[in-house]
Amino acid sequence: MDFDDDARLDTGQIQDRRGRGGGRSGGSRLPGGMGGKAIGGGGIVGVLVLAAVVLISQFGGGDPLSIGTGAGTGSGADNAALASSCRTGADADQNDDCRIVAVVNSVQAYWEGAVDGYDPAQTVFFTGQVSTACGPATSAVGPFYCPADQQIYIDLGFYDELRTQFGAQGGPFAEAYVIAHEYGHHVQHLLGDDAKVGNDREGATSGGVRLELQADCYAGVWAFHAVDTGLIVELTQNDIADGLDAAATIGDDRLQQEAGARVNPESWSHGSSAQRQRWFLRGYESGEPRQCDTFATDDL
């Protein structure tokens, strides 16, 4: 993935709260649900605790999807370092933080042109733990979208853990896929698709799975148009392969197998590895958001 050296980056789309949330917390709860609750992210959301969630789902123990509601958003962002170091696409080619800024800019540039009345969402960088309008969360939940404050939250250390703990190939586009998936949830919220889920969060054909697969498809749609946004010069087939590898790594069936549990579609919340790859490719090959209506098909 190569960025246009002369493209200007907008760090105003980021809140950098790193180092302001305290140390890592041992306990974690997986975001999920609709309305004021965080939506499972990056498909990837909660990848670090999904193994535990699988066991909870199979052997009982409350609602593993809720992180609670009612907490303040907590601010304290300091973008000075980002603003000084992330100015152009050349910076994005050299600096990991700037690359994420450029991806956020590109994803939003596409959706601003594709969705009437698109309302930009900020991405919050944090470390350890963070307070959101959907409740408090720790790094262990992975990236997620909070519809109550319309913001994406990510501890960038997640990318290292995705490679080292879960065996993903990684790469810049694998990271971009995570961000694009989260913005897919923002688009769903703006269009009201998240309201279709209600409490139908688990199961191979559940509303929760349909929502996650649609976000994967939206990530693919952005990838189709990424070069058109003017920030990215080229996406290679190797980039797309890295994105597909990340999608497969966090499929519900793969995670259940890695946890030593039997594959149980009745507990799925994000879809299988094959489904996640299929819907990303559907978006990427068509470039059409209307091809992403997972709620209107029996063939997931």
Model confidence at 283: pLDDT above 80: yes
Domain tally for the chain?
A: 1
* Average predicted confidence (pLDDT) for the chain: 84
What pLDDT sits at residue 75? 56
Report yes or no: 101 and 154 within 8 Å, Cβ to Cβ.
no
Q: Which of 94, 101, 114, 91 is nearest to 11 (CA)?
A: 101
Q: Which of 16, 176, 173 is nearest to 104 (CA)?
A: 176
User: H or E segment at 154?
Assistant: strand 151-154
- How many other C-beta atoms are found inside a 10 Å radius of the C-beta of residue 24? 14
Supply the DSSP string of 13-72, one letter for each residue: GEEE-TTSS-SPPS-------STTSPEE-TTTTTTTTHHHHHHHHHH--S-TT---S---
Ranges 53-67, 152-166, 273-287: which has the least confidence: 53-67
Specify the 3-state DSSP secondary structure of 136: strand
The pLDDT confidence band at residue 147, using thresholds 50, 70 and 90, is very high
Angle between helices 237-249 and 207-225 (to 10 degrees): 170
| Percent of the chain predicted with pLDDT > 90 | 66
Range of the domain at 29: 2-296
Strand pairing category for 122-125 and 14-16: parallel
In degrees rounded to 5, what are phi and psi of residue 189? -65, -45
What pLDDT sits at residue 44? 41
Tell me which of 166 and 263 has the higher pLDDT: 263
Give the torsion sign (CA, 95, 100, 103, 104).
negative
Ranges 64-78, 94-108, 133-147, 195-209: which has the least confidence: 64-78
What pLDDT sits at residue 54? 32
Model confidence at 73: pLDDT above 50: no
Q: pLDDT tens for residues 38-68?
A: 776 433 444 333 333 332 222 223 232 333 3
Q: How far apart are CA 144 and CA 153, in angstroms?
A: 5
Report yes or no: 153 and 45 within 8 Å, Cβ to Cβ.
no
DSSP-derived letter for residue 231 is: S
Q: pLDDT tens for residues 167-186?
A: 788 899 999 999 999 999 99
Summarize the confidence of residues 113-140 as an average pLDDT.
94
Give the torsion sign (CA, 122, 15, 47, 99).
positive
Looking at residue 171, its amino acid is G
User: H or E segment at 129?
Assistant: strand 129-132
Model confidence at 134: pLDDT above 90: yes
Cα of 4 vs its chain's centroid, Å = 24
Q: Render the burial of 119-137: b for 16+ CB within 10 Å, e for the rest.
A: ebbbbbbbbbbbbbbbbbb
Give the torsion sign (CA, 41, 42, 43, 47).
negative
What pLDDT sits at residue 128? 92
